[in-house]
A and B are shown apart, each in its own frame.
Chain A
């Protein structure tokens, strides 16, 4: 399997988060989940997408630490390596 790039993960995460309601223009690396009105259940769904697409398993403890979109992207990329 070829290596996953940060750009690929970023676009998939943004696309998934946008499906939960926030406008895609609001979603950037520095945006917090709180600002975007992304709740814990949305993050569970994001974790499922990440698991299905990249085989990266994110646990509840991982998700609790995440505050910004950038942190989520970096965590997924680091786990996928």
Chain B
């Protein structure tokens, strides 16, 4: 029977980590002792600031540029992270995400395809690549950043919701395939979190949230830190909502 596993020498890769929820996750995992690869697509300054903050706090981090929608990104990122830290990637946080909202009647092909490519297909390729070192190590932590929109509909977000619900289904499938190798895959489903992505939304939306406030990126990161820890070794295929009760 497989034993509960503790983390061997390994590093973590967080996609879309130059700002917002991803940046908070990268800093939180670094505080937990993970060397962290801080992936970004275009915001090199943001990624450099995240890395600098981690290093000032005594952690280890490296910025890695790649667009996760690019089919070659998974290999590039894993090779880059493992070359820099000299240890395998044993923690993967699929956080990179974009939105392109429109009522479904007006939703364009490009808006559909681009959101699926980044939010779901990118996560699939990274997960597939991650299982190589994780299976070999008999240890792995995969956390997919889904959304409460993947559980409870929000008008104008059919593409985003489909991708985020798809992430949950993929997460659960990964769990049943590889749990016996000491690998966990879980999803975190944030509700309304104060970030650049939600900056344009009207503040009156908080009236619908039982907590009557938006969440912070740090509150999402705390959940990811737990799911990536040794303590969460028996939590597998779960969806942890961080939404102030919105989906309750």
Contacts and interface: CB of A to CB of B under 8 A. Distances in A.
B236 to A, nearest CB: 15
B98 interface: no
A48 B178 CA distance: 15
11 contacts: A41-B135, A41-B177, A41-B178, A41-B180, A41-B181, A44-B135, A45-B135, A45-B136, A48-B132, A48-B135, A48-B136
Contacts of A44: 135
Nearest to A40: B177
A41 B183 CA distance: 13
Interface residues of A, number: 4
A41 B136 CA distance: 12
Complex A-B, nearest 4 residue pairs according to Cβ-Cβ distance, in ascending order? A45-B135, A48-B132, A41-B177, A41-B178
A53 to B, nearest CB: 13
A41 B177 CA distance: 8
Interface in A2-58: 41, 44-45, 48
A48 B130 CA distance: 12
A50 to B, nearest CB: 13
A41 B181 CA distance: 9
A42 to B, nearest CB: 10
A55 to B, nearest CB: 15
Given A41-B177, A41-B180, A48-B132, 8 more contacts: A41-B135, A41-B178, A41-B181, A44-B135, A45-B135, A45-B136, A48-B135, A48-B136
Contacts of A45: 135-136
A62 to B, nearest CB: 17
A45 B178 CA distance: 11
Interface in B47-79: none
Contacts of A48: 132, 135-136
A41 B178 CA distance: 8
B78 to A, nearest CB: 13
Contacts of B181: 41
A44 B181 CA distance: 12
A48 B137 CA distance: 13
A46 to B, nearest CB: 11
Nearest to B133: A48
A48 B136 CA distance: 9
A11 B12 CA distance: 34
A48 B88 CA distance: 15
A71 B136 CA distance: 24
Contacts of B136: 45, 48
A47 B177 CA distance: 16
A41 B179 CA distance: 11
Nearest to B135: A45
Interface in B120-169: 132, 135-136
A44 B180 CA distance: 14
A5 to B, nearest CB: 25
B149 to A, nearest CB: 32
Contacts of B135: 41, 44-45, 48
A45 B181 CA distance: 11
Contacts of B178: 41
